[in-house]
Amino acid sequence: MPKASPRPRAAAPATRLSNFQYFLILTVISVLNVCFFLGLGFSPSHVRCSTDLVVQFVNLYLENNGATAIGDILPETCAKPAQKSSDEFERSIREIVARCLNITQRKIMKKLRERPLLTLFTTFADHIHTNTEKLFVHNNTLMNWARFKPHANVILFTNDSVWDDIAKQNGWETISISEQAERPPELREMFRLAYERFDTPWYGYANADILFTNQLIVTLEDLSDKGNFTEKSVLLTGRRTNIEKISLVNARSDGNLTKHARDYGTLYREDAEDYFIATKPFPWQRILPVVVGRPGYDNWLVAEARCKLHTDVVDVTETILAIHQTTEKGGNNEGHYHPRSTLNFDLFKQNKIKPNYLAGLTSCIPYFTYTDFCDVVSVEARSRDHFGPRCGCGVR
């Protein structure tokens, strides 16, 4: 059963692996193989040969880079492993090193690709331009997302001439949105217009107060390399990390953002999903015209994708750090205090839908991402034991 999702760790740059990374990979592999050695090669009667001692000498074996046989390094208090066990252990090490080298070469080749991987977009709520808190947050987002070019196209949906100018100065595209009083844009409409503007494997919406690190691009690159992954209907989402003290944030620095999230961040609730990234085949035409910036649509969307559209939904919390700029007024339930906050709830009632919100929690998402020993983002299915009755797709 997978552990509860921790705050995401920083993704390693897609360059070649250092000696330290090799050592780290091999050390972890050795720890996983300790039980194999204990079961096949070591006698439980050797009380003085503790697991800690075995790990210590396996680490020594790895540091010697295979110059000395594992059986010759272990102390006399430990029974010598069978030759078959030693051979299997060495084979496992060589295979993981060869795999990492092969992946490193592929990542170097990916750097030569110029075609954008992602089209990422958001919208800014109308507000008085003297609201210094909103100004700071939105400017952070404009600077932060602009860093992902040329790997990503970034779009701001707005009718505000001030933000239109500022966005373009930061290298963003802008698209006008339909004029409706106190009504933010529809999610499916923004995806449709983004499809028309750019041709990329991935398309994503995120709230305007969310900052990302390069984990975003690394995760999408690695997932794109997995066979026909981007040719299927896939939806990615995850939990956000709330940070305060946003005046200390440097939106242009991955190192600053990662450290700030580690020092001041809190992984927020599993029912708050502030970004959605989909492959092009995702059937947005079958999604109700829910609006962003108002409550109710996020968990409904995840449950709808899981239970009705049979889409592969993936929880990317562990590999994408999504930083929520938590301000005094722009806190954790801001959408509930907007005018016409019930827009999505009213839409569900009009369509005689009783949303199964619990089925849309991140903990109910059937797949999750993780970083393997080669610093590659991979996808794994959660075990059946992970899901409780609340994750069922039945009507409640």
Per-residue confidence (pLDDT) for residue 289, from 0 to 100: 96
Q: Which long-range contacts (CB under 8 A, 24 or more apart) does 20-23 make?
A: 21/375, 22/97, 22/100, 23/62, 23/63
Per-residue confidence (pLDDT) for residue 278, from 0 to 100: 98
The residues, ordered by sequence, that sit 6+ positions from 328 with a Cβ below 8 Å of its Cβ are 133
Cβ distance 108 to 25 under 8 Å? Answer: no
Q: What one-letter code names the amino acid at 18?
A: S
Q: Does the pTM exceed 0.95?
A: no
Cβ distance 268 to 242 under 8 Å? Answer: yes
User: DSSP characters for 260-291?
Assistant: HHHHH-EE--TT---EEEEETTS-GGGS---B
Per-residue confidence (pLDDT) for residue 304, from 0 to 100: 97
Q: What are the angstrom distances between the C-alpha of 311 and each of 147, 158, 279?
A: 30, 30, 10
pLDDT digits (tens, 9 = 90+) for 15-42: 444 555 555 555 555 555 554 454 444 4
Q: What one-letter code names the amino acid at 56?
A: Q
DSSP 357: G
Element spanning 136, H or E:
helix 132-146
Instruction: Report the b/e string of 30-49 with b at 16+ CB within 10 A.
Output: beebbeebbeebbeeeeeeb
> Cα(162)–Cα(118) distance, rounded to whole angstroms?
26
Q: How far apart are the first and last CA of the chain?
A: 26
Low-confidence ranges of the chain (pLDDT < 70): 1-48, 104-114, 126-130, 179-182, 329-339, 395-396
Per-residue confidence (pLDDT) for residue 384, from 0 to 100: 83
Q: Radius of gyration over alpha carbons of the chain, in Å?
A: 24
Cβ burial of 217 (10 Å; 0-12, 13-18, 19+) is: buried
Count of CB atoms situated within 10 Å of the CB of 389: 7
Cβ distance 238 to 321 under 8 Å? Answer: no
Residue 123's beta-bridge partner residues?
157
> Cα(4)–Cα(2) distance, rounded to whole angstroms?
7
